Structure 1
Amino acid sequence: MSSTPVSWPPGYAINPRVVSISSELVEAFRHLPVSAVGDVMGRSVGAIGLRQYHRSLDTVMCGPAVTVRVKPGDNLMIHKALQMVQPGDVLVIDGGGDVSQALVGGLIRTTCVAKSVAGLVINGAIRDLCEWAEDGMPIFALGHTHRGPSKEGPGEVNVPVAVAGLAVMPGDLILGDADGVIAISPDRASEILHQGRQHLVKEARIREENRLGTSDPERFNALLRSKGLPV
């Protein structure tokens, strides 16, 4: 029996949560720095300009994305998304980069903790900084303000979004640490995990050579000669 497509009012959509990645793969990525993942993905992807508002620098945020697009300064659909999240999800919210009104505050943080959300990434502002600074709920945002949000809509849940230059699809694996936030397509996650682990082995070797003073000067001299420098 065919189902009738839902006809949403203009500006609204509530799509199902996307199940895309195993818990084992999520756990494996927790042990990779965002910088290493970014290196193997070309060194030109990831969010730019987000600030970490949780206090602990060694906190790692990792989980599948539940995405929300909202009108700047309005959090109606964020509340709807919080009814849909599962433990371990990362809430990725595109508020259009507006920082004149906060999209989430301490009350939403309490809900996120109760639902075991893995963290939040917000293309917008937050408030109640003292609460967000506490351990237990990673959050990255563009800025902060005391001014609160409206709850009027429109908005969309589980649609493609953009956050500080980072494109995110529903179900993408989101990885965040003190260096930044990156999104990984589920289709490439296993490949990137393998490459990221190899990259860490390579970095460990270089780090040890640097420590011992045994680095091969040819590593950079060859690059300089290729640019015409007589070294």
Structure 2
Amino acid sequence: MKDLLPDICDYYAQDIRFLPLTLFDYGCHSPFWGQIVTLRCFEDNSLVRDILSTAGDGKVLFIDGHGSCRRALLGDQLALLAIKNNWQGVIVNGAIRDVATLAQLPLGIKALAACPIKTDKRQMGENNVVLNIADTLIYPNDYIYADLNGIILTNTALDLSVLKTES
């Protein structure tokens, strides 16, 4: 099912929060969903590596890079690490790089833009914090659902088997 979000929004209208942020799709895995792990960092992706080095167990990492597109918070090496550790996706309120390679990888990836410049490595940032992006609160351990239509958030996992199978 490629257009998952419209069906979720129709069936679970009272249970969802829409994230009104325009992000581009860079990975070849869409739709994707999972429990949210949050990270807030600014032009430093050292904690991204630390988190993606752990078992993802089908989760989605949401990185708030404060909307900065001057440094890439995710590239091909970190995406490969995410795949190896069973992450479903990475969403970046900021920039990514290695876009041609990312487009070939079985990982959901959304970001504001691409930038070829790597980040500084200062081990700075905060994980498992509530993020406020586009006036929408994103809580650790909530659930995120993403496809080409955008992103929605829920407090609990949704039963997707109740949705129609064709879109």
Tell me the TM-score range normalised by the shorter chain: 0.7 to 0.9
Which consecutive residues of structure 1, in runs of 5 or more, have no partner in the other structure?
1-29, 205-231
Cα offset for 1:76? 1.7
Does residue 91 in structure 1 map to residue 61 in structure 2?
yes
Counterpart among 119, 122, 130 of residue 152 in structure 1? 122
* 2:130 aligned partner, one-letter code: P
In the alignment, does 2:24 pair up with 1:45? no
For residue 146 of structure 2, give the secondary structure of its aligned residue in structure 1.
Answer: strand
Aligned ranges for residues 15-34 of structure 1 at < 5 Å?
33-34=4-5
CA separation in 2, counterparts of 1:143 and 1:178?
Answer: 15
Q: Is the 8 A contact 2:53 2:85 kept in 1?
A: no
Measure, in 2, the Cα distance between the counterparts of 1:108 and 1:135: 11
SS of 2:69's equivalent? Answer: coil
Higher strand share: 2
1:131–1:175 CA distance, 2 compared to 1 (3 A): same
Report the equivalent of 1:76: 46
Normalising by the residue count of structure 1, what TM-score does the alignment of the two structures yield?
0.62
Instruction: Determine if contact 2:54/2:85 at 8 Å carries over to the other structure.
Output: no
Deviation at 1:185, TM superposition (A): 0.6
Q: Answer yes or no: is the 8 Å Cα contact 1:172–1:185 preserved in 2.
A: yes
Structure of greater Rg:
1
Q: Determine the C-alpha separation between the residues in 1 that align with 2:98 and 2:104.
A: 11
How many residues align structurally? Answer: 164
Residues 77-226 of structure 1 mapped to structure 2, 5 A cutoff = 77-186=47-156, 189=157, 193=159, 197=162
1:55 Cα deviation (Å)? 4.1
* Percent identity between the two aligned chains: 27
Higher relative contact order (CA 8 A, sep 6+): 2
More helix by share: 1
CA RMSD of aligned residues (A): 2.8
CA shift, 1:197, in A, is 4.4
- Which amino acid is 1:124 matched to? G
* SS of structure 2 residue aligned to 1:176: strand
TM-score, reference length from structure 2: 0.84
**Partners of 2:25 and 2:148 within 8 A in 1:** yes
Runs of 4+ aligned structure 1 residues displaced above 4 Å come to none
